[in-house]
A = this chain, B = another copy of it.
């Protein structure tokens, strides 16, 4: 890709158009290189480095650029000196045996999504479906907070509730009145739906589903858990 196009990858519109996203800094580039050993499509990543990193070992096509060029590409205030341009992975096919889907409806916070991806990668066996209007997972902030997990978790973007209903008749979601998640029934689902940070699960839009409600029992002192915490506890419970 041309440098002028790479600079545009800060914008979702161009990430979609070019099908690539930015991976900044030593740690994330190392994670990308590790992930490329398992997912050969990632070998088509391109590496941009400043002088300081000219001897960096990488299987990717590598180009040395100036500090000034790096500053224009990097998202962070202190440009890292090493940035990869990675291809957005192909959308995975149907769920395989034993695989489960975590559907996030209009998730907004990049840190929450990054943390959730990290948990899904940690446990394995999950894919992440995002509704229209969710934060873009290839946003540099999500990539950074995922700490490389984004290279490991199958992702589907812009999955509408109508589309979800075609694929999953039954879904599980969290609700104050639900059964405790430690209940055996919780694990008997293939799709788990979580709502937006502020508005929660869009219950009125879930009438086409056979909906099963579960609950993480608490003391009642506060109204809600953080969204990522709720997802992470559910995923842990499923893999326990």
The residues of A with any CB-CB pair to B shorter than 8 Å are 31, 111, 115, 118-119, 121-125, 145, 147-149, 152, 182, 216-219, 221-226, 228-229, 232-233, 236-237, 239-240
Contact = CB atoms under 8 A, between A and B. Distances in A.
Number of copies of this chain that the complex holds: 2
From A111, A122, A125, A225, residue with most partner B Cβ within 10 Å = A122
A233 B236 CA distance: 7
Given A147-B224, A229-B228, A232-B229, A219 B125 contact: yes
Contacts of A226: 115, 118-119, 145, 147
Contact of A118 (B147, B149, B225): B225
A228 B147 CA distance: 14
Given A115-B229, A229-B232, A221 B182 contact: no
A182 B240 contact: yes
Contact of A219 (B122, B218, B223, B224): B122
A231 to B, nearest CB: 10
B222 A122 contact: yes
A116 to B, nearest CB: 9
Q: Lowest 9 A-B CB distances belong to which pairs?
A: A124-B219, A122-B218, A152-B221, A233-B236, A115-B226, A121-B222, A229-B232, A121-B221, A122-B225
Given A219-B125, A236-B236, A119 B182 contact: no
A233 B125 CA distance: 18
